Structure 1
C-alpha cells in the first residue's frame, strides 16, 4: 500500500495545519511541513473576493496532498455565508474532511450532511466518505457539543477554536492559557464520551516557549491531536505527540519494575517506589506508540 492509497485514521492525525485558501506558496510550504493533515481555510484566512480563485487552488492542493499521503481538508464558510459555493468549488478535489466553523446546532450539521450527500452523488464520490469536523467557537457550541457529535457518522473528529471562543467568553488572553483550561477540559471529555477524536485549539502565540508550555497542558489533559497555524510549530508538536524509542523502552522497563515490586514489595526505607499513576502513564505511552507504528507499517507495507 502506497501513500496515495493510505488514509490516516482519526487516531493518528497529530497535526492539522491551517493555510490560507488563496496562497499557493503557503500550500506548498504546508505539504513540505510534514503535517499529518492540511486544512485550506476559506473562512477567516480568505477574503470574500478571493474565494472563487481560492477554490480552484484548493482543488490542486487537495490532489497534491492525496499524492503525498497528507490528509487534505477544507474549512468552508457556514452554509448561509458562502458555504454552498465553497462546496461546489472544492468538492471536485475530493477533500477528506470539511470543517464547519461556528458549529452550534444539530440543524447546521444535518444541513451540511445533506449538502455533501447531494454533491457526493453528483461527482461519484463514495457516499458518506467525506468527513465533517465541527469547529466549536462559542459557549453555545460547547454546551451543545454532546448532541452535535451524534448528528451523523461523518463526524469522527471535532476541533476547539481559540480566539473566537475567548472573545465569546469575554476571556482575557494570556500566554499561559488558564482562561481556557475549563473549556479545553470539557471539550475533551465530551469528545471522548462520544467516541470522537478531540482536536485541541491551536497555539496562536508564535513563541517556541509558549508553545512548549501549551503542549505540556495539552498532553497532560489527554489530547493527541492539535490544530496548527504556524508551520514551524509542526515538528515540536510531533515530538510531543510521538513517543521516542527510548521512551517506549523506558516505559516497558518501568512496567516490569512495577510488576516485580508488586510481587516483592520493598521495605519502607526510602527505596524507589513506582506508583500506579506512573505505571498507567507508561501503559498509555506504549499503546500510543503501537497505534502510530501500526499506521506506519500499513503505509510502508
Structure 2
C-alpha cells in the first residue's frame, strides 16, 4: 500500500491482535483500551443491534480518542453500505477512525464504493486525504475466489480479515478445536494477502481449549500468519507471545546466523545450518528489529 503512516500509529505489519468489542458496551471499550490489544475494533455489525446503532456510533467517538491516547489503532466494523453502512460512516467519520472493516467483502466494487464514501467524509471532516484504512472481511466461498481483486480495489486496503463462523457455514465445514478444517483456506489466505501486499489477519479461535489454541497459533506462525482476530481478551497475550519474537528467540536466531556464517566444507553434517533454517532465523531478527524500531519511534514522539 502506498499510504504513509504516522510513526505513532502502529504499522500494519506489527498489529498482532485485533480485539473486537460491541459498539454499545462502554465497559468493554474501557477494558479494551486498558488491555494489551494492538487494535481495538468496535463492531457495529454483528455485536450491535440495529436499534442501538445510533447511540453506539456516538459512543465510538470517545472510544477512538481513548485508543489514540493509549497508542492503539482505533478501528470499526461497519455494516454493508447497502444496509446501515452509510449511516455508520456519517456517525463515526468525524472521530477519525484509523481503519474501517467491511463485512462480507465479495467484490472489488464494494471496496471501491467504500473508498469513495470515505474520501467524501474525509473531505467533509477536514481529515487528511487517504488517512483511513480499509480492511475487507472475507466470509464466503465467493469472497475467497474474488480475494485478489478485492484486495487490489483500493490503495487504502492495508490488511484483510478471514472470518470463521460465516465462512465455515457457507462451506459446510465440520470444525473442531484442532483447526484442520480451515488449514487449507488459511494457507491460501496468506498467499493471497502476501501477493497483494497486505497483512493477513487470521480468523478467531472460538473454542475454550488453551492447549489447542496454542497449537493453532504455532501452526499459524509456521505458515506465515502474524496477526489474529480476538474476541476473548484473555487470548491477546498468547497471540503476542507467538507473533512477536522474544529476546530468547532473537538470541537463538543470531547464534544460528553466526554459526551459518562461520561454517565451511569442514563443518560436520550434524552441525551444519541449512539454508532454510538460516533464512527463518534471519526473518526472526528482522521482525524483532521492526518492533524495536517502532518502540523507539513511539518514545521519540512521546
Tell me what 1:174 maps to.
Answer: 176
In 2: Cα distance, 1:264 partner to 1:127 partner = 59
Structure 1 residue runs of 5 or longer lacking an equivalent are none
TM-score, normalising length from structure 2? 0.95
Tell me the distance in 2 between the aligned counterparts of 1:262 and 1:278.
16
Question: Is 1:138 aligned to 2:137, yes or no?
Answer: no
The equivalences for 1:19-38 within 5 A come to: 19-38=21-40
The offset of 1:273, in angstroms, is: 3.4
Q: Cα offset for 1:84?
A: 0.6
Structure 1 CA distance for aligned equivalents of residues 260 and 299 of structure 2: 35
Whole-angstrom CA distance in 2 between matches of 1:207 and 1:46: 27
> Which SS does the other structure have where 1:184 is aligned?
helix
Contact 1:75–1:100 (CA<8 Å) still a contact in 2?
yes
Name the residue aligned to 2:161: 159
Moved over 3 A (4+): none
Post-superposition shift, 1:221? 0.8
Q: Which residue does the alignment assign to 1:248?
A: 250
Residue 257 of structure 1: aligned partner: 259
Structure 1 distance, partners of 2:26, 2:46, is 17
Compute the displacement of 1:260 (Å).
Answer: 2.1
After superposition, residues 117-128 of structure 1 pair within 5 angstroms as 117-128=119-130
Deviation at 1:289, TM superposition (A): 0.4
Name the CA distance, whole Å, in 1 between partners of 2:188 and 2:83.
Answer: 29
Q: State the Cα deviation string for residues 270-297 of structure 1 (Å, max 9, x = none).
A: x433322221211111111011111011
Contact 2:177 2:209 in 1 (8 A): no
What count of residue pairs does the alignment treat as equivalent? Answer: 295
Matched, 1:109 2:117: no
Q: Distance in 2 between matches of 1:110 and 1:255?
A: 45
> TM-score by structure 1 length?
0.95
**2: CA distance, partners of 1:262 / 1:162:** 48
Q: What are structure 2's unaligned runs of at least 5 residues? A: 1-5
Alignment of 1:1-301 (within 5 A): 6-262=8-264, 264-266=266-268, 271-301=270-300
Deviation at 1:68, TM superposition (A): 0.9
Distance 2:264 2:105 in 1: 49
| Separation (CA, whole Å) in 1 of partners of 2:210 and 2:63 | 28
| Residues 65-116 of structure 1: per-residue CA shift (max 9 Å, x gap) | 1111110000000001100111111112110000000000011111111111
Distance (whole Å) between structure 1 residues aligned to residue 7 and residue 290 of structure 2 = 19
CA distance in 2: counterparts of 1:121 and 1:55, whole angstroms: 20
Once the two structures are superposed, what CA deviation does each residue of 1:162-193 show, in whole Å capped at 9, x if it has no partner?
11110110101111111111110111101101
Deviations 1:105-138 (A, max 9, x none): 0111111111111111111011111100000011
Superposed CA RMSD in Å reads 1.3
Shift of 1:5: 6.9
Distance 1:207 1:19 in 2: 21
Following the alignment from structure 1 to structure 2, what is the Cα–Cα distance between the partners of residues 158 and 263?
45
Aligned residues of 1:206 and 1:230 also touching (Cα < 8 A): no
> How far, CA to CA, are the matches of 1:213 and 1:262 in structure 2?
36
Distance 1:85 1:214 in 2: 38
Q: Separation in 1 of the partners of 2:173 and 2:41?
A: 26
The 8 Å contact of residues 21 and 41 in structure 2, kept in 1 or not, is answered as: yes
